[in-house]
Structure 1
Amino acid sequence: MGDVRTRWAAAGTRPVRIANCSGARGDPGSQMRRQAIEGDVDFITGDYLAEMNLAENAEKMAAGKHDGWEPTAWDGLEQTLDVLDEKRIKVVFNGGALNPSGLAKKCQKLVTERGYNLKVAYVYGDDLIDEVKADLEKTRTLPKHLDSENDKVSLAQNATSLLDTKGKRIVSANAYLGARAIVKGLELGADIIVCGRVADASPVIGAAWYWHKWNESDYDNLAGALIAGHLIECSAYVTGSNFAGFTEYPLETFVDLPFGIAEIAADGTSVITKHENTKGLVNEDNVKCQFLYELQGSIYLNSDVTANAKDIEIQQVGKDRVRLSNIKGFPPPPTTKLAIFYHGGYEAQLLFNATGYATAQKWHLMETQFRFALKQSGRLEKFQLLDFQIIGTPEYNPRSQFASTTYCRVFAQADTETVLYGLLKTFSEIAMQHFSGFHLSLDTRTALPRSYLAFYPAIYPQNSLDEGVAVLSADGSVAEKASAGHPSEYRKLDARENYETASPVDLSMFGPTRKARLGDVVLARSGDKGANINLGLFVRRSEHYPWLQSFATRARMTELMGDDWREDFFVERMEFQNILAVHFVIYGPLGRGVSSCRLLDCLGKGFADYIRDKVIDVPESILADMPAIREERKAML
């Protein structure tokens, strides 16, 4: 890329090189600096916001105990401003959270003090809490739920409880913004753009849109940038983190992972890569894993474009270089996601241990004792949720007491702290009636009630957004504002695809089988979308794909879920044939989302490896191919 002076003159004539520095609030500021100094890039983007960040800090900010923006985002700017100024790298990120203007002004102050030639701006318009509160008080009706258009999906228990505006008060309400305001800010000369709640891929879309001078109707190009943004926005997920195939490589490959880079061409195709001479890996398998993560079928939505990735092609084109193509774009939907968080009540958990002999009977006795005592005292019916979760299985002929021990997690939620203190009181009353060998890990930090936040994912009309960008002057005042406007065209959402394979085959045609784990022949990734878990499974040779297509049915998925399946769940299934994948969405397991989920795996990340651990009948012919496949992958390092 060479000389800084010529680099920006080449805008639009070569692929734009966008490096991501964050996928979660914990990613340190050093990752921003690392992306700036370890090689040439045009933009650095960052996604510091999970769905919970805004809500968790909202009340602290209102009480003057939090700045509203993410400290690690500020850390990155503070460490990297000198390199940004020297190399003329532009930065777009959502670490402004609840207070993008505050972080932008803090950044501008430092820029001015150090004498850097950098223009700072912030995006506004995502914070809708006052409007949502007023509408709810006035109409007493909820905004439309994100999953409400699917009549086969059952909303989570207590999903509508925020209608109780006194007891379940709203804490935050933020719309997911697109890239339009980002593009406006870049056109006004901004070097650093601080956003609040923009969609995960919006900073990447905005950077590519501005660089290539696309029109808003260049939907194929925008769709390609959307998928590229989806791939690099999750920290190191596209360079080796959260990778189902990690056991096939030397362990040191995954220590000190770099973050991903997308090189997006003028036609929207892209190459996913990383800086040279860094750890990790970028290959077809890991890129496929990340592509399949947090999807809900083949349609990926953003406020600027609807991407249809059903026929996506993912191809290795060099060491640590994977090309994405064949993504189709269409006008955006008329609505965007609106994340509403509210006080759901209080929760607590008690942890109890059992060792060895007759463990299953021990846990059955304890739950029976608990429920009898709670009912006798009139407390049982007062819980929103009371779950007895058995974690682990005692080892057969154990070699240590640890290996013989499992625990029961009693997880409870209620409207008031009093009910949960009643759970503790009940335990104290029956504690000495315990099973043989009972012991406990009663951590007061989790046993005592704490307030929890619940999530209501709604939709909001795009034409009602007041979205824009403000560019700051050297003294931190607003020098110029520009409205983002609204898309000129929308496309109504179709029902998501849900089908079994078109040409199933008899599994016996693959010859003799033997018992093996699904993960011995299939890679996968899973993740959360509100109440739902998505799961993508894929094989690595085309001759294996008919087996996966015919094996991985909706009925099979409910069977593989075992005791975790509930009748009020719903399964969607579709295929990405060009990448040999079958994709599922299971609606309902995560309840009201991450912040109030009853499961240990509240993000659904472990679901893929749970399914891959299932022992099934695997064709011996496929198992025989696996050593060669693994050697091929290692050879790419």
Structure 2
Amino acid sequence: MEAVRIANCAGWLWDRFSGLRDALEGPVDVVTGDYLAEPTLRQLALERGKDPSLGYARSFLAQFTDAVDLLVERRAKLVVDAGGLNPAGLAVECRRVIAEAGHTLVVAHVEGDDVHGRLGEFGPLPHLDDGRPLANWGHEPGTANAYLGGWGITAALAAGADVVVTGRVTDASLTTGVAAWWHGWGPEDWDPLAGAVAAAHVIECGPQATGGNFSGFTSVPRVDDLGYPIAEIAADGTAVITKHDTAGGTVTTDTVIAQLLYEIQGPTYLNPDVTVDLTDVTVTQAGPDRVSLTGVRGTPPSPTTKLAVTAPGGFESSVSFYATGLDLEAKAALLTTHVERITAGLDLSLLRIDRIGAPVQDPPDQWAAAQQILVTAQARDRSQVGAERFIAPLTGLFLPGYPGLYVTPLKVAAPVVEYWPSLVPTEALDHEVVLADGSRLPVKDTPVRADFAGQPASVPAPVGGIFPTTMRAPLGYVAHGRCGDKGGNSNIGFWPVGAPDEDLAERRWQWLRAAISEQRIRNLYREAADARIERHEFPGLRAVHLVVHGVLGKGASSNGRPDIAGKAIAEFLRARYVEIPEELL
């Protein structure tokens, strides 16, 4: 059969309103949309607590209402995880929108991910990173959702659905479920399924695949108007990543590599439907804005799938101070003294003081002379970080503070989401498709599974060749970078900046794989000095990949860092000066 053309229209809950319409601006067979993250489910739980009919991504419903006519005109299918905690409720709303628009699309939804009422059935549920049992968490779970695979989506499409709404499935399941339906794959078609997972991983974050969040963004055309990516997935699982001709941005080997290295844990990428081996993955420029993706291999999946538990974690407030000009160390020290005095009697679970930026020498204006000092606090009791006891005393430091002090409250007693990742047996989940007439189709996942043996051992960095002269320069002069978050861990990937000829490209790669060692990262990244670091290589991508454990604390939803998800770590490291062979610059 011909390749299935799958466009993605959303990478998070508040992706742009026009996303669905943009994804449909050219020929596609199916549109997918990924709206969920771990903190998102807690946010949806708060909305459902106020109104039981909610709990789904209302942002998607607005997009759908805007673009349903175009969806019908294109004769495309639509598969989204926007159902969140209430896929049945969103399915009802979609049917209402379809009827009001005068159409007759068939809507089905997928259930089985929500196991909040069943946590006692799964044993101790140890934390994925430190092994502590859930009973020692100290928080009362508010949501608990297992990551489903794509076979429910496949079954819904096979039953005639035009629109499929799911709750928590893996990001890749949206695409693999579609590809399996289109090509008629079975649960043991490991290589095609693995190829679809890799393609899904590239497109799941929308315009990141067309130049967004890309270290080479200055060379991206129409970077202010990035289009959404399309995966053309063939029957053997190989794929071409592209975009509509009218869309901004670009699709190159670099933009695809950047997304392949985003938020992975190494060459082995786990999915409920297949274990993906990315060791030999290769990307090739197949034409303007067309990149082929090959070399992906698959093996049976693990018998477990990830479980995301969230809980109310208290409240967070933050105040931004600014220090200007001279004596910054003394100014920061005085502010710290005031903060310690003000918070001494408060019952806080977290207090951070982060200094952001540094003034330039002989600054041309006031703002170039400034440094931000961010004070962040968390507490179980709202009053401990509220306006009266925390915000007002801090913002009242004008008179006793350092010279030039000015201040802005940024966050006042905002809810904190605690996050707990664990694993549950896939076979214990009640994976079902619910059709428009209310009938239910049990979903049969693959019966063939294999225990996860762990990531391949880190490859020692080889000698990078003989380079007679070097100079100190930013690492980013010769290396692209991309990073992401997995709970409290950060993953970071580096690959050579494009060279005018193959010989220079290969020499840059050989130097890079020698230069990016675990110890080098510890030396460059102070927060990682004592962290456990895993290092991997992707020869087909000419990339070095690292997982730095624990640098993001408890995870993006509750660590209190200014950069909560570690989105800028790679750019920080690219700015660090290292000795680089002059002939590679």
Shorter-chain TM-score bucket reads: over 0.9
Cα deviation code 1:591-635 (max 9, x no counterpart): 121111221111221111011011111111111xxxxxxxxxxxx
Aligned position for 2:371: 406
Report how far residue 97 of structure 1 moved: 1.2
Q: Secondary structure at the match of 1:271?
A: strand
C-alpha change, 1:550 and 1:533, in structure 2 (3 Å) is same
Contact 1:299 1:308 in 2 (8 A): yes
Aligned position for 1:514: 471
Report how far residue 500 of structure 1 moved: 4.0
Q: Secondary structure at the match of 1:434?
A: coil
Equivalent of 2:7, from 19, 24, 30?
19
Equivalent of 1:436, from 377, 400, 403?
403
Q: How far apart in 2 are the matches of 1:203 and 1:424?
A: 44
Aligned position for 2:21: 33
Report how far residue 425 of structure 1 moved: 6.9
C-alpha change, 1:142 and 1:353, in structure 2 (3 Å) is farther
Once the two structures are superposed, the pairs formed by residues 599-614 of structure 1 within 5 Å of their partners are 599-614=561-576
2:101 maps to 1:144? no
Q: How far apart in 2 are the matches of 1:99 and 1:439?
A: 45
Once the two structures are superposed, the pairs formed by residues 189-588 of structure 1 within 5 Å of their partners are 189-249=160-220, 252-371=221-340, 374-375=343-344, 378-379=345-346, 382-421=347-386, 422-424=389-391, 427=394, 432-441=399-408, 443=409, 446=411, 448-473=412-437, 478=438, 480-501=439-460, 503-505=462-464, 509-539=466-496, 540=498, 541-562=505-526, 564-565=527-528, 567=530, 569-588=531-550
Aligned position for 1:111: 98
Q: Secondary structure at the match of 1:389?
A: strand
Report how far residue 424 of structure 1 moved: 4.6
Cα deviation code 1:350-388 (max 9, x no counterpart): 22221111101210232134335655xx54xx4222111
Q: How far apart in 2 are the matches of 1:586 and 1:308?
A: 21
Aligned position for 2:502: none
Q: How far apart in 2 are the matches of 1:408 and 1:161?
A: 37
Contact 1:142 1:163 in 2 (8 A): no
Contact 1:126 1:197 in 2 (8 A): yes
Contact 2:398 2:405 in 1 (8 A): no
Aligned position for 2:551: 589
Letter in 2 for 1:21: C
Q: How far apart in 2 are the matches of 1:293 and 1:314?
A: 15
C-alpha change, 1:172 and 1:231, in structure 2 (3 Å) is same
Letter in 2 for 1:401: Q
Letter in 2 for 1:538: W
Between Structure 1 and Structure 2, which shows a larger proportion of helix residues?
A: 1
**Which deviates more from structure 2 when the two are superposed, residues 238-247 or residues 496-505?**
496-505
Equivalent of 2:117, from 113, 130, 134?
130
Contact 1:29 1:74 in 2 (8 A): no
Q: Which runs of 5+ in 1 are unaligned?
A: 1-12, 150-154, 624-637
Q: How far apart in 1 are the matches of 2:414 and 2:244?
A: 44
C-alpha change, 1:108 and 1:372, in structure 2 (3 Å) is closer
Q: Secondary structure at the match of 1:53?
A: helix
Q: Secondary structure at the match of 2:35?
A: coil
Report how far residue 253 of structure 1 moved: 2.1
Q: How far apart in 2 are the matches of 1:92 and 1:196?
A: 11
Letter in 1 for 2:187: E
Q: TM-score, normalised by structure 1?
A: 0.86
Cα deviation code 1:552-572 (max 9, x no counterpart): 00000111113x2353x2111
Contact 1:387 1:411 in 2 (8 A): yes
Report how far residue 89 of structure 1 moved: 1.0
Q: How far apart in 2 are the matches of 1:537 and 1:278?
A: 27
Q: How far apart in 2 are the matches of 1:374 and 1:209?
A: 56
Aligned length: 576
Q: How far apart in 2 are the matches of 1:225 and 1:428?
A: 52
Q: How far apart in 2 are the matches of 1:490 and 1:57?
A: 33
Q: How far apart in 2 are the matches of 1:560 and 1:498?
A: 23
Letter in 2 for 1:601: D
Report how far residue 71 of structure 1 moved: 1.9
Aligned position for 1:70: 57
Contact 1:521 1:622 in 2 (8 A): yes
Q: Secondary structure at the match of 1:277?
A: coil
C-alpha change, 1:397 and 1:28, in structure 2 (3 Å) is closer
Q: How far apart in 2 are the matches of 1:371 and 1:34?
A: 51
2:32 maps to 1:45? yes
Letter in 1 for 2:521: M
Cα deviation code 1:149-182 (max 9, x no counterpart): 7xxxxx8xxx968643xxx322211111110111
Contact 1:590 1:598 in 2 (8 A): no
Contact 1:500 1:554 in 2 (8 A): no
Q: Percent identity?
A: 36
Q: How far apart in 2 are the matches of 1:110 and 1:351?
A: 44
Q: Secondary structure at the match of 1:595?
A: coil
Letter in 1 for 2:446: P
Contact 1:28 1:72 in 2 (8 A): no
Letter in 2 for 1:232: I
Q: How far apart in 2 are the matches of 1:113 and 1:609?
A: 48
Contact 1:29 1:77 in 2 (8 A): no
Aligned position for 1:598: 560
Q: How far apart in 2 are the matches of 1:178 and 1:486?
A: 8
Contact 1:20 1:44 in 2 (8 A): yes
Q: How far apart in 1 are the matches of 2:2 and 2:233?
A: 9
Q: How far apart in 2 are the matches of 1:49 and 1:429?
A: 39
2:47 maps to 1:85? no
> RMSD of aligned C-alpha atoms?
2.1
Q: How far apart in 1 are the matches of 2:427 and 2:400?
A: 62
Cα deviation code 1:515-548 (max 9, x no counterpart): 2111111001111111111000001412211111
Cα deviation code 1:182-214 (max 9, x no counterpart): 111111111110111111111110111011101
Q: How far apart in 1 are the matches of 2:544 and 2:520?
A: 12
Letter in 2 for 1:522: A
C-alpha change, 1:544 and 1:163, in structure 2 (3 Å) is closer
Q: Which runs of 5+ in 2 are unaligned?
A: 499-504
C-alpha change, 1:616 and 1:186, in structure 2 (3 Å) is same
Letter in 1 for 2:582: E
Contact 1:497 1:573 in 2 (8 A): no
Q: How far apart in 1 are the matches of 2:398 and 2:74?
A: 65
Letter in 1 for 2:153: I
Letter in 2 for 1:410: V
C-alpha change, 1:511 and 1:82, in structure 2 (3 Å) is same
C-alpha change, 1:622 and 1:331, in structure 2 (3 Å) is same
Q: Secondary structure at the match of 2:349?
A: strand
C-alpha change, 1:428 and 1:243, in structure 2 (3 Å) is closer
Q: Secondary structure at the match of 1:592?
A: coil
Q: TM-score, normalised by structure 2?
A: 0.94
